[in-house]
Each structure stands twice: as C-alpha cells, then as structure tokens.
Structure 1
Amino acid sequence: MINKIIGIVLIVAGVALAWWGYNIYDSASSQLTRAINGDTPIEAWLGMGGGVVSVLIGLTRLK
C-alpha cells in the first residue's frame, strides 16, 4: 500500500517537474538565448529529464 502512495506522489511530482522544465524551455528569455547562442538552459533539461525519470520510477512502484 505504501509503495502505491509513493508511486502516485512520484508521478505527480514528475509531471510537475517536467512541466516546470518545459516552461523554462519555452520562456521568452530562453528563446532569445537559443536564437543568439543556440544554448538551452540547464534548468530546462534537468526539469524535463528529472520529471521523466520520476514518472518512470513512480510507474514501477505502482506495479
């Protein structure tokens, strides 16, 4: 039972983290930086990647 609760929390947190990372990726300052330098902020990659990993771990806890 506790594993299912942890899994649900990880999924919710992972979705929120991935959404936050995408918002950083899609922000106006990030778009300007990508247009000038071609660089993407590390926070965007960490947010999206960490969110995906968190969701995957959460899914494995639900089984």
Structure 2
Amino acid sequence: MNKIIGLALLVAGAILLYFGYTEYNSTASKVTEMVTGNPTDNAIWFLVGGAIAAIIGVGMLLKK
C-alpha cells in the first residue's frame, strides 16, 4: 500500500514540477520578474510543492 502512495506522490510531484516550470517561463512570470525581481508566487508554490511531493514519493518507494 505504501508503494502505491509513494508512486502516486512521485507522479503528482512530477506533474506539479511541470506546471511550475511552465508557469515560471510564462509571460506573466517574466513581466513580474522584470518588475519585482522575483517570479510569480504560483510558479514558486508549484515548484516547491512538486519537489516536496517527489522527494516524499521517492522516499516511500525506497523504504523497505
């Protein structure tokens, strides 16, 4: 059961990382980055959430 949850978290993390990457490279994020020096909050949250979910997923898959 833990392996299934780990795999689901890994997949969800990969999807969130993809959305974060596309949001980071979006026009709105580039304009915001030019004005404030930082990308949009959505891009940051997607990237952080995706990384955390992927790390937890890999940890659950490797745990015996």
Match of 1:34 in 2: 33
Structure 2 gaps, min length 5: none
Q: CA RMSD in A?
A: 1.0
CA distance in 2, matches of 1:41, 1:57: 25
Which stretch of structure 1 is more off in the superposition, 27-36 or 50-59? 27-36
The list of structure 1 runs, each at least 4 consecutive aligned residues, that deviate by more than 4 angstroms after superposition, is none
Which stretch of structure 1 is more off in the superposition, 34-43 or 17-26? 34-43
CA distance in 1, matches of 2:58, 2:42: 24
What is the CA-CA distance between 1:30 and the residue it aligns to? 1.0
CA distance in 1, matches of 2:37, 2:58: 34
CA distance in 1, matches of 2:61, 2:38: 37
Match of 1:57 in 2: 56
Identity of matched residues, %: 37
CA distance in 1, matches of 2:31, 2:60: 40
Residues 30-52 of structure 1, C-alpha deviation per residue, up to 9 Å, x if partnerless?
11221222131111111001101
Match of 2:22 in 1: 23
Match of 1:8 in 2: 7
